[in-house]
Amino acid sequence: MSDTLNRRQGFSLPEVILAMALMITVVSALAGYQRGLATGFTQLAQYRQLWRNAWQQTQWGPGEMPEGWKVNRVQTSAQRCVSISVTITSPVGRQSQMTRLHCPAGQ
């Protein structure tokens, strides 16, 4: 039984160090990738919220804006159509501009 234990070698120190270096490299790369994905998803959500609010503000009866958002709404009419232009600024400084033309159904 002691002969069996003596024949077992295990890993050498350079092998262990190399394995740890590879593991640290992989974990660091995955953490950076995850951070990049999280940032991208956050920016996409802000972008969608910005355009959703702009779309709501170009309706006939605009809804309430969330706190911290700024809206500049201009309504003009030409012939029987009404043009509504909106510029929205989010709390983090992103800006969106949208114009919508409302015309009666017969035109």
pLDDT at position 104 is 82
CA–CA separation, 10 and 50 (whole Å): 59
In a domain, 92, yes or no: yes
Q: How far is the C-alpha of 97 from the C-alpha of 80, rounded, in Å?
A: 23
Q: How far apart are CA 83 and CA 103, in angstroms?
A: 9
| 88 and 70 Cβ atoms separated by less than 8 Å | yes
Structural domain contains residue 107: no
Give 6's pLDDT tier (boundaries 50, 70, 90): low
Q: Assign 106 a pLDDT band (cuts: 50, 70, 90).
A: low
Residue 107 pLDDT exceeds 80: no
pTM, rounded to two decimals = 0.64
Number of domains making up the chain: 1
Domain of residue 19: give its range.
2-102
Residue at 27 is within a domain: yes
Mean pLDDT estimate for the chain = 87
CA dist., res. 63 & res. 46, Å (int): 18
Angle at 76 between CA 74 and CA 82, to 5 degrees: 115
pLDDT per residue over 30-72, tens digit each? 999 999 999 999 999 988 989 888 898 888 888 888 888 888 8
According to the model, what pLDDT value does residue 32 have?
A: 96
d(CA 31, CA 16): 22
